[in-house]
Chains A and B, each alone.
Chain A
Amino acid sequence: MNGITLTLRVLHHGEKHLARHLVAVAERHRTEHEVHHVATDLAVWSREHVQRLTDTGHHYGVKLGDPPHPSDSGVLATLREKAADAVGRRPEPGLLLLRDLRELHLGATENSLHWEMLAQAAQAAKDDRLLALVSSCHPQTLRQMRWSNTMIKNISAQILTSL
């Protein structure tokens, strides 16, 4: 396995993880409506990235899995939603939300760094297929980072000063 396939694998794992995490956060914070809806939309991007990484992997003889199904979480999701409703009237979930947003931000940042590495390798290897993949996926990863950052910025003052 060379460095490129290794990075594809790491990214595949990272995007899959982020997609799942975005969906989990969306469910956990269903009463934070903006987070709920936007995180759900952003999970779609990561699932697309996973799919495209899988497809690209074929060309390098790497077998990567398919993206997680959007509603793979079943019973667990229902539980999380119920929990979200139950605590909707309390302030402490604000802290949990900040923690979740921070984790999302770090996850996206990690992916972004791996896209960066892949882009460098693609250029060195003059691999246009890989470069096209990176240039269409990486901007969306950056937007996921900016979103979690913006949300943290917008709500942390209220949450942290009201405890």
Chain B
Amino acid sequence: MDASVDRIAQPWGGRTPYGRHEVWPARVDTHLEEGVAPDDVQRWVRAASILHSDGDAMDIAVVDGRMVGVRGRAQDRVNHGRLGPKDLFGWQANASSGRLTRPLVRRGGRLVETDWATAMDRIVSRSRSLLQEKGPGSIGFYTTGQLFLEEYYTLAVLARAGIGTNHLDGNTRLCTSTAAEALKESFGCDGQPGSYDDIDHADAIALFGHNLAETQPVQWMRVLDRLEGADPPRLVCVDPRPTQVARRATVHLAPRGGTNVALLNALLHEIIRTGRVDHAYVEAHTVGFEELEARVAECTPAWAAGICDVPAARIAEAAEILGSADRLLSTVLQGVYQSHQATAAAVQINNIHLIRGMLGRPGAGVLQMNGQPTAQNTRECGANGDLPGFRNWENDQHVADLAKVWNVDPKQIPHYAPPTHAMQMFRYAEQGSIRMLWVSGTNPAVSLPELSRIRSILSQERLFVVVQDLFLTETAQLADVVLPAATWGEKTGTFTNADRTVHLSDKAVDPPGEARPDLDIFLDYARRMDFRDKDGGPLVHWHDPESAFEAWKRCSAGRPCDYTGLTYGKLRGPSGIQWPCNEDAPDGTERLYTDGISWAHPDRCETYGKDLVTGASDSVVEYRSLNPDGKAMIKAAAYLPPHEEPGAEYPFQLTTGRTIYHFHTRTKTGRVPQLNAAAPDVWVEVSVADADERDLNEGDLVEVATPRGALRGRVRVTDIRPGLLFVPFHYGYWDTPGGKGPDGSTPGRAANETTVTDWDPVSKQPLFKTAAAALTLVERGGGRAAPAPTTTASVPSRSGGVTATAGGPSASVAQSDGAPWHGREEGSR
């Protein structure tokens, strides 16, 4: 099956069909720079993707100290050799011009180059004076979902025990905090129950608000291969857009925005009504079933149809598939997590699995997904609003245990309140109680809601902003100090994908100029701040990635995310390894909860739970009385109308999201020729009915406005549900005349000019899917087409006049069969 495929035109490449319970055949995807033949490659260096949460394993091709391409790893159980378009082409961004090569500091209002000592001095002296004058609560850290485990852990230690601040979160708050919260609410603890291998065994796969085809393309290839093999699974798709998933689904439900809980309650109603409950499982492993039964008793498909605007008969069909499946796999992503009642809805999906006993067996699993590649690590390491190792901040034993690992007084670790979430940190900065904000590897000036507010917070005189990144992002342009960071391929570390698989990614080439690995920057800061443990020794006593990993292993010992059985050496073996990995499970753990629920006991659980509507914390007393034996918790939730509904002035619902050719804020993918050309600018998806009614056509320039702001984009008429507009998120300003925001020469372009500052009260994840918007014509397209791809959910409803998306020769990728590759391994030349 050696073939060359244009992987912009065919993002999922060729098919390798396989039957249920068979092994997914390998297919090795290789893309090398033009003019480089496989034999020219001097070294292949082990890595995995950080452009999505699959963590697809790959090798980086190096020639003369330069990256020249990538190849999927056939031996790895996650991707069996395949890569998505972002991985195949994205590595080129590392070498693009515009990389930061020297630190910058603001002088006289302008950012000017300086040396590391000067830049770090500024940060350290500001930290010291703030600590002295205002206390640790005046300093906050906002990090990313794309650093390595070693870096998050180091950051967590220096922030929580060094500074002693409660303000540390990741932009994974925008991505995965609902996944974590839903798992905690149902199972008492974070940790993905299932495995990607469940795709091989399921006879029904339900994708809830999860455009798998574009967000995790390699696992979508796996589903496509199953669909073409023997005994294919039935697909249920819940998505208001005509995604590729929707097009292949047995049943597609396209609900109104913000109504997921109503829909899920109706699905639960039907499953219970038709007697599909596994009562033995419910009895043995759960509490709370009666409450759910009572709560959904009135939630008939006809009731939900009125709220969700989907036919009752379709809801019944979907429930029939969920109810009759022999092995059901559900996957969940932003259509649930970034929407109204996020956690309540995600928990109802867990409930489907709990009442049907669909957990802990091959094919019976839940994937509460991540959008960010290393989001799982922020959760484990406590860089995202949890304590490290899934410890419970309300359990004094857990805090004491952590204090022992760090050799500090428990009082030094803030645990009087939950760790501050990102949106609240920005509020504190707005109010002036946070005076220094250190942003690492993320771009809030594009990715947070209501951008004019975020820009005004970051530009305040009294707020000292540190930005650590690869490029002069929109956020970096507002900083007081900018630190040039190294990235993937230029540093070594580990990271963990959405199904708990840990991969090691080695350094392949040197970073440009004076750019440094994030770990080195944090270690340097810790050294300069001279953080000490309670015996006067250095608090951060490690010095490189491997010693940081060893330190983390100690912190993870005995916790659900136990890494103690892993070493860098072991991770250089054939494939990634799933945690927990320890003495009892030296090869890792494929599925959690194979013998009942293991981490929900009141003494072990990560949280005592929250009210699914108000976000109010339950107390340990309530938790103990509700769940004394530590079973899974079935938590019911009533549907609540969204906070912002369309009306006369703003008649549309507006939703936003990622697409296959771009990744967060396009800092990297916007600098990759093949990816940029496939989707170079923002666009607006409008339904056929709405376009007809307003006489709008493909390519017309329109303005989308909400009470917060506006953006302009060209119309793409699609089969999206009527009444709904879609705008791809994270088109920013670095590649516009405005540079960092809209101005006289640059109209609004970022979706987040318009989105509302509102978040799920339980997971604190901002809502990007539920704004009400107005749509007005600015200028006729005159034959132009929208800059939207034709291969994805944005496929035009009428193709006339729109050129099909293709990449041409530079997007050509070799696909070869999966025979293990016999070539030079790392370092052999």
Contacts and interface: CB of A to CB of B under 8 A. Distances in A.
A117 B137 CA distance: 43
Nearest to B414: A157
A144 B613 CA distance: 10
B643 interface: yes
Interface stretch (A57-65, A126-134, A145-153): A145-153
B135 A33 contact: no
A157 B618 CA distance: 20
A31 B757 CA distance: 9
A143 B614 contact: yes
A13 B614 CA distance: 23
B432 A157 contact: no
Contact of B615 (A31, A40, A150): A150
A37 to B, nearest CB: 5
A159 B764 CA distance: 19
Interface string B756-777: 0111010010000000000000
B759 A34 contact: yes
Contacts of B428: 158, 162
A38 B618 CA distance: 17
Contacts of A159: 433
Contacts of A91: 431-433
A146 B758 CA distance: 20
Interface residues of B, number: 31
B778 interface: no
Contacts of B273: none
Interface in A10-52: 31-34, 37-38, 40-42
B423 A33 contact: yes
Interface string B627-648: 0000000000000100100000
A147 B612 CA distance: 11
Nearest to B640: A41
A42 B593 CA distance: 36
Contacts of B423: 33-34
B615 A153 contact: no
A46 to B, nearest CB: 13
B759 A161 contact: no
Contacts of A162: 134-135, 137-138, 428, 432-433
B61 to A, nearest CB: 47
Contact of A38 (B137, B416, B614): B614
A158 B433 contact: yes
B247 interface: no
Contact of B427 (A32, A37, A38, A150): A32
B288 interface: no
A69 interface: no
B617 interface: yes
A92 to B, nearest CB: 9
Contacts of B430: 31, 88-89
A33 B758 contact: yes
Count chain A CB atoms within 10 A of each CB in B416, B430, B761 and give the residue with the most.
B761
B614 A90 contact: no
A157 B137 contact: yes
B761 A38 contact: yes
A147 B433 contact: no
Interface residues of A, number: 29
A40 B764 CA distance: 17
Contact of B611 (A34, A94, A147): A147
B117 interface: no
B417 interface: yes
B461 to A, nearest CB: 11
Nearest to B420: A158
A113 B346 CA distance: 34
A2 interface: no
Contacts of A155: 417, 424
Interface string A66-92: 000000000000000000000011110
Contacts of B618: 146
A117 B29 CA distance: 71
A161 B427 contact: no
A154 B427 CA distance: 13
B332 to A, nearest CB: 23
A162 B432 CA distance: 9
Contacts of A144: 614
Given A31-B430, A158-B433, A37 B616 contact: no
Contacts of A147: 611, 614-616
Contact of B614 (A31, A42, A94, A154): A42
B418 interface: yes
Nearest to B462: A89
Contacts of B427: 31-33
Nearest to A87: B431
Nearest to B460: A89
B613 A143 contact: yes
B613 A41 contact: yes
Given A90-B431, A162-B137, A149 B616 contact: yes
9 contacts: A34-B759, A37-B643, A146-B611, A146-B618, A150-B614, A155-B424, A161-B135, A162-B137, A162-B138
Given A41-B643, A91-B433, A150-B615, 18 more contacts: A33-B757, A38-B614, A41-B613, A88-B430, A88-B431, A89-B430, A93-B431, A94-B431, A143-B611, A146-B618, A149-B616, A154-B418, A155-B417, A157-B166, A158-B433, A161-B137, A162-B138, A162-B428
